[in-house]
Chains A and B, each alone.
Chain A
Amino acid sequence: EDKVVQSPLSLVVHEGDTVTLNCSYEVTNFRSLLWYKQEKKAPTFLFMLTSSGIEKKSGRLSSILDKKELFSILNITATQTGDSAIYLCAGGGSQGNLIFGKGTKLSVKP
């Protein structure tokens, strides 16, 4: 059965800290790993990763995929209170549907 497991489930840090969110996956015919940020409403797209070892960066956020060990990490440096959200990881197969993890709830305290 396909599954995506995220850890930790919740995390509390202070502004300026660096955090690492983890995502392991088992997805049949795996094609891509996606990260989303969800605040009070719909998830917003952050990254799509398809190749091992190639880091994707957007400002203070970066992510990398390891297809041999079947995991991905999302790093956030110099965290701000606006980074507080649920971060969702999803594995995509060849049919286009995504398998989501339960998310990591990040709280950044001032």
Chain B
Amino acid sequence: DGGITQSPKYLFRKEGQNVTLSCEQNLNHDAMYWYRQDPGQGLRLIYYSQIVNDFQKGDIAEGYSVSREKKESFPLTVTSAQKNPTAFYLCASSIVVGGLYEQYFGPGTRLTVT
């Protein structure tokens, strides 16, 4: 059963705590991405990784960290430095066909920080 899994679906944390969101894919995709979605804002790129042990900052990387130790896994840590962490977080991976990247999304994690 192939796909992208994110866990947990809902996550609640107290302000000041770091929290790690999981993203796993068994599609053998090289590239993986993390987005944040706020109401009325569309998707904004946090980090992306095109190969293992390498990743780049997206548009809103401050207060977040990632690792890419395995091709299948791209966990995102939301640190206490992130000013407004409450949001819907989406992980994606992409297949490259003829130099074109076609991204597919996981089911998302809704994080609430109080």
Where the two chains meet, the residues of A that have a C-beta atom closer than 8 Å to any C-beta of B are: 9, 31-32, 34, 36, 41-45, 48, 50, 88, 90, 92, 94-103
Contacts and interface: CB of A to CB of B under 8 A. Distances in A.
B103 A34 contact: yes
B87 to A, nearest CB: 14
B105 A43 contact: yes
The listed residue with most A CB atoms (<10 A of its CB), out of B48, B50, B100, B107, is B100
Interface of B: 31, 33, 35, 40-45, 48, 50, 58, 90, 94, 96, 99-108
Given A43-B105, A100-B35, 14 more contacts: A32-B100, A41-B107, A41-B108, A45-B102, A45-B103, A45-B104, A48-B102, A95-B50, A97-B33, A97-B45, A97-B58, A98-B43, A98-B101, A102-B42
18 contacts: A9-B40, A31-B100, A34-B103, A36-B105, A41-B108, A42-B90, A42-B108, A43-B90, A45-B103, A92-B101, A96-B94, A98-B33, A98-B45, A99-B45, A100-B35, A102-B40, A102-B42, A103-B42
B103 A98 contact: yes
B76 to A, nearest CB: 15
A44 B40 CA distance: 18
A101 B76 CA distance: 23
Contacts of B50: 95-96
Given A31-B100, A45-B104, A96 B31 contact: yes
Contacts of A103: 42
A34 B33 CA distance: 16
A100 B108 contact: no
Nearest to A96: B101
B108 A50 contact: no
7 tightest A-B CB contacts, nearest first? A96-B101, A42-B105, A102-B42, A100-B43, A100-B42, A32-B100, A42-B107
Contacts of A96: 31, 48, 50, 94, 96, 101
A31 B104 CA distance: 17
A94 B31 CA distance: 13
Nearest to A93: B101
